[in-house]
Amino acid sequence: MSTPQPEPAVMIIHDGGLGALVATLMTIDRSDDVRVIAWAPASGSSLVTPGAPAWAGRVAVLQQQAAVLDLAEVVEPEPLPTSSSDRGAPAWPRSGNVDAARDLLRAIADAEARGCERVIWPIVCGDDLDATYAASELARLVSRIAELDQRRGGPWLDLPLADLTTARLADLAHDLDAPRTETWQQAGADSEAA
């Protein structure tokens, strides 16, 4: 008798924003039997989308999305004390590649420990070709470093939204029939309208 194979797993770097929601929906849409694990960037991480609220607000929105979408797990890593973001630096790419590489390697290590085949970084660079190129190169280099460390292919880093604009991202969310869960961008817009 053969041992049943575990469902494939994908980890999404998830800050509760629209990009992460769309990446989650795209992953679920491609395969009903995939385990989706949300990795919430720690407080001060350079991977948090610019404009995102503080840690507690992001995690609350993420937990709501996880419940609605029936995600397998939400991973909340401890913050690293040496992050330049903790010293008031902005998010990637303005924070620099070292902090982003460290955070991406941490996500890959957590994904490896959970048997994930892929890590999705839902970064949206829009029309900025330099930022898209920099994100792609960083992902390629980080994936290669992780592969060398693991000595056997581990999770690879995917950037499916890098070249989208925020308007196209919103269109894609609509096309994917995004549930009426709240993203932190929507929460901010709702509070400004009130």
Q: What percent of the chain lies above the pLDDT cut of 70? A: 79
Per-chain mean pLDDT for the chain: 82
* Amino acid (1-letter code) at residue 110: D
Cβ neighbours of residue 106 closer than 8 Å, sequence gap 6 or more: 77, 80
Distance separating alpha carbons of residues 88 and 135, to the nearest angstrom: 21
Predicted local confidence at residue 87, as pLDDT: 45
Section 7-34 average pLDDT: 90
- CA atoms in the 13 A half-sphere facing the CB of 33: 4
26 has a pLDDT exceeding 60? yes
Residue 179 binned pLDDT confidence (cut-offs 50, 70, 90): confident
Distance separating alpha carbons of residues 28 and 12, to the nearest angstrom: 11
Section 56-65 average pLDDT: 88
pTM exceeds 0.95 for this model: no
Predicted local confidence at residue 93, as pLDDT: 57
